[in-house]
Structure 1
Amino acid sequence: MAELLQTTLCYLERDGCYLMLHRIKKKKDVNHDKWIGVGGKFEPGEDAPACALREVREETGLTMLAPLYRGIVDFYCDPWPAERMHLYTCTEFTGTLTDCREGVLEWVPKEQVTSLPIWEGDRLFLDLLARNAPFFHLELTYDGDTLVRAVLDGRPLL
Structure 2
Amino acid sequence: MMKRERLPFTTLCYVEQDGKYLMMHRVKKKNDVNQEKWIGIGGHFEEGESPEECLLREAREEAGLTLTSYRFRGLITFQSAGWGTEYMCLYTADGFEGEVTECEEGELVWIPKEDIEKLNLWEGDKLFFHLLEEDAPFFSLKLSYEGDRLVQVVLNGIDQALEYSQ
State whether TM-score is above 0.5. Answer: yes
Whole-Å separation in 2 of the counterparts to 1:54 and 1:79: 28
TM-score, normalised with respect to structure 1: 0.96
Amino acid at match of 1:115: K
Q: State the Cα distance separating 1:81 from its structure 2 match.
A: 2.5
Whole-Å separation in 2 of the counterparts to 1:100 and 1:6: 21
> Residue 37 of structure 1 aligns with which residue?
40
The structure 1 segments of at least 4 consecutive aligned residues displaced by more than 6 Å after TM superposition are none
Q: 1:61 aligns with which of 61, 64, 84?
A: 64
> Residue 117 of structure 1 aligns with which residue?
120
- Check conservation: 2:70, 2:95, Cα contact below 8 A: yes
Whole-Å separation in 2 of the counterparts to 1:57 and 1:7: 15
Secondary structure class of the residue paired with 1:66: strand
> Residue 17 of structure 2 aligns with which residue?
14
Amino acid at match of 2:139: F
Secondary structure class of the residue paired with 2:124: helix
Amino acid at match of 1:7: T
Secondary structure class of the residue paired with 2:153: strand
Amino acid at match of 1:135: F
Whole-Å separation in 2 of the counterparts to 1:91 and 1:21: 17
Amino acid at match of 1:40: G
Q: State the Cα distance separating 1:66 from its structure 2 match.
A: 1.4
Share of identical aligned residues, percent? 54
> How many residues are matched?
155
Q: Which runs of 5+ in 1 are unaligned?
A: none
Query: Is 1:46–2:46 an aligned residue pair?
Result: no
Q: 1:25 aligns with which of 3, 24, 28?
A: 28
Q: 2:89 aligns with which of 77, 86, 90?
A: 86
Secondary structure class of the residue paired with 1:56: helix
String of CA shifts for 1:73-99, please: whole Å, max 9, x gaps. 000112113100000001000001100
Whole-Å separation in 2 of the counterparts to 1:113 and 1:100: 20
- Check conservation: 2:79, 2:86, Cα contact below 8 A: yes
Across the aligned residues of Structure 1 and Structure 2, the Cα RMSD in angstroms comes to 0.8
Q: Which runs of 5+ in 2 are unaligned?
A: 1-6, 162-166
- Check conservation: 2:82, 2:147, Cα contact below 8 A: no
> Residue 3 of structure 2 aligns with which residue?
none
Whole-Å separation in 1 of the counterparts to 2:100 and 2:23: 12
Whole-Å separation in 1 of the counterparts to 2:48 and 2:56: 14
TM-score, normalised with respect to structure 2: 0.92
